[in-house]
Amino acid sequence: MAEARNQEAYPDTGAPAPEEAPAMDADTAALEDQIAALEAERDAMRERMMRALADAENSRKRAERDRREGLMYGGAKLARDMLPVYDHLTRALDAIDEVGRETAPGLVEGLNLTLRELVNVLEKHGVQRVLPEVGDAFDPHSHQAMFEAPVPDTRAGDIIQVMAAGFRMHEQLLRPAQVGVSSTPAG
């Protein structure tokens, strides 16, 4: 019946009668609103997905970095706990005088072998000694000043005595070398 009315009202064009046009515009507007809402929802979901992917990638990278650091520095606590053993063996060897070396050569050899084995095991796990030389410049990143004294023929900041070796595990300082440092010589 509506077709008959359309043809009666506009026989040549076949266009809808004027009373039906507002109904079509309302349907079109509702569809456009629904499309806009779906596009907004799609965009929000895409944004959430991209953030979730970025978070997952960051978590993967952080886990990989933590795993690498765990492999490199996982033994740092044990290595730090072994440093006094190195110090005691070194002091024992330094304390043995010439008479002791002649009367107990086996003991001295045993201490030397034990110290060498300890150093080899530490080096195997990435621990290196920091051994400054007398006359080197003081480096606060690798050395700890235990005292300061004016010493003739030295510059301020020169190492004048090495009291204990320092140790580094890869790039991490386990213990600074303990040194005496020259102050400005009194004049």
Sequence ranges of the domains in the chain: 2-72, 74-183
- Which one is predicted more confidently, 39 or 23? 39
Q: In the numeric block, which tokens belong to residue 126?
A: 């990435």
Of the candidates 156, 169, 100, the residue with the CA atom closest to the CA atom of residue 128:
169
3-state SS string for 81-135: HHHHHHHHHHHHHHHCCHHHHHHCHHHHHHHHHHHHHHHHHHHHCCEEEECCCCC
Q: Which is it for the CA torsion 70, 74, 77, 82, positive or negative? A: negative
Is the pLDDT at 153 greater than 70? The verdict is yes
Q: Write the CA distances from 37 to 40, 64, 143, 166, integer angstroms.
A: 5, 41, 66, 67
Over pLDDT 70: what percentage of the chain? 86
| Helix or strand run (H / E) with residue 187 | none
Instruction: Please provide the average confidence, as pLDDT, over all residues in the chain.
Output: 85
- Which one is predicted more confidently, 129 or 18? 129
Which whole number is the average pLDDT over 8-13? 54
Q: Report pLDDT for 133.
A: 92
Is the pLDDT at 113 greater than 90? The verdict is yes
For residue 59, which amino acid is it? S
* pTM score above 0.75: no
- Which one is predicted more confidently, 14 or 94? 94
Q: Report pLDDT for 170.
A: 86
Q: Report pLDDT for 1.
A: 46
**Residue 67's pLDDT band (cuts 50, 70, 90):** confident
Which whole number is the average pLDDT over 55-78? 88
Q: Report pLDDT for 164.
A: 92
CATH 2.30.22.10 fits 74-183, yes or no: yes
